[in-house]
Amino acid sequence: MAQSSVIALQNIQKQFIVGNVTVHALRGINLSISRNEYVAIMGPSGSGKSTLMNILGCLDTPTHGSYTLSGSDVSQLADDDLADIRNREIGFIFQTFNLLPRYTALENVMLPLAYAGVGRAEREQRARQALHDVGLGNRMEHRPNEMSGGQRQRVAVARALVNQPALILADEPTGNLDTQTSIDIMHLFEDIHSQGNTIIVVTHEEDIARHAHRIVRLRDGLIESDQPNPTPALGATT
């Protein structure tokens, strides 16, 4: 594995038992992602991309194979250890934002730092900076229902960045947004990538995948293609 690799998957397989049937969701995935890569993972329904995302995000473990994240094999860790890895190494951005409705933007962004045992003063300082970085310096005390969909997703991006994780993992990050807001969010992703972050976007939308610098396509639990994107789309600001 190259020194700069954040992710190395070797022969990753995942099977589920449904009644009397064994479903082979992943059939042997080999994938390496280096630091500061911007990768889109695509595939039709049933291709295995959601299963792969869950394994990459340490939300699940493979049936067979090894997963090395930032130099550590996380393939067979216990749930508590996986939770610790998730909090330290991975920043999640979801289609549904997953913000706590009673918390302000600032409190939502501070939450991962609380789990990490960071003191209150530092939590607040880092969360304020993260919100400034995504253009929400004037919305810190607003709750999710007081913000637009694009603003809520920017809060989610700030929350993903605040722990300075090794990996940003985004699952259909523009699925609930209109076209122009989607473009703005993808422009923000490009800014995040330019600052040295490693980003994986899981999506079924070709126009979203075109913003990535590398596109991995799955089909029937295998990698169908893995190619650089020579002309990534650039986001547009309003």
For residue 3, the model assigns a pLDDT of 47
pTM of the model: 0.92
For residue 26, the model assigns a pLDDT of 98
Strands 21-34 and 5-18: antiparallel
Helix (H, G, I), strand (E, B) or coil at 218: strand
SS percent in the chain: helix, strand, coil, step 5: 35, 30, 40
When comparing pLDDT for 145 and 235, which is higher? 145
For tokens 């209109």, the residue is: 178
Q: Which amino acid belongs to residue 142? A: H
Q: What is the pLDDT of residues 110-134, one digit of tens each?
A: 999 998 999 999 999 999 999 999 9
Percent of all residues in the chain with a pLDDT value above 70, rounded to a whole number: 97
What burial class does residue 113 get, using C-beta atoms within 10 Å of its C-beta: 0-12 exposed, 13-18 middle, 19+ buried?
buried
Q: Which amino acid belongs to residue 155? A: V
Q: Is the pLDDT of residue 236 over 50?
A: no
For residue 4, the model assigns a pLDDT of 75
Q: Please report the domains of the chain, with CATH numbers, ordered by start residue.
A: 37-64+75-228 (3.40.50.300)
For residue 76, the model assigns a pLDDT of 83
Q: What is the mean pLDDT of residues 92-108?
A: 95
Q: What is the mean pLDDT of residues 201-216?
A: 95
Q: What is the mean pLDDT of residues 131-149?
A: 96
Q: What is the pLDDT of residues 16-65, one digit of tens each?
A: 999 999 999 999 999 999 999 999 999 998 999 999 999 999 999 999 99
